[in-house]
């Protein structure tokens, strides 16, 4: 089945140790998103790629970076994780025909990040 796949499902890292989370999709969608979701809260958008164009949200900390080497893959890099970065990280995709019309987003099952 076409889907959004995130690996790993669970990730444990040490305070300050860089970590990379990955996302792949078989939907061939041109837009990919990264969200942070903390317990009992709605997902919070960190950034998105429209094709190869990177778009950062104004309140996303500099500690968070992303790479999209091709249409199917996207990575989230956390350069120096702090205790406050422990959360579920969700990848989503959608298709867009022009920058004003976006189809609904499809989410992966997330990576739960713990910081020791």
Partner 1 sequence: QKEVEQDPGPLSVPEGAIVSLNCTYSNSAFQYFMWYRQYSRKGPELLMYTYSSGNKEDGRFTAQVDKSSKYISLFIRDSQPSDSATYLCAMSANYKLSFGAGTTVTVRA
Q: What is the binding site for partner 1 (CB under 8 A)?
A: 4, 6, 31, 33, 40-43, 45, 48, 50, 55, 88, 90, 94, 96, 99-110, 112
Shorter beta-carbon distance to partner 1: residue 80 or 114: 114
* Residue 47 in tokens: 């950034």
Contact indicator for 17, 114 with CB cutoff of 8 Å: no
SS3 39: coil
**Shortest distance, position 16 Cβ to partner 1, whole Å:** 26
- Rounded Cα–Cα distance for residues 38 and 40 (Å): 6
9 or 18: CB nearest partner 1: 9
């Amino acid at each position: 089945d076409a889907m959004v796949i995130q690996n790993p499902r669970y990730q444990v890292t040490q305070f300050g140790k860089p970590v990379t989370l990955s996302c792949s999709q078989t939907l061939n969608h041109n837009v990919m998103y990264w969200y942070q979701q903390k317990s009992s809260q709605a997902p919070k958008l960190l950034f998105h790629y429209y094709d190869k164009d990177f778009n950062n949200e104004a309140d996303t900390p500099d500690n968070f970076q992303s790479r999209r080497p091709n249409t199917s893959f996207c990575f989230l890099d956390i350069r120096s994780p702090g205790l406050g970065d422990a959360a579920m990280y969700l990848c989503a995709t959608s298709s867009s025909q022009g920058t004003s019309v976006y189809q609904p987003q499809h989410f992966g099952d997330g990576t739960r990040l713990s910081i020791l």
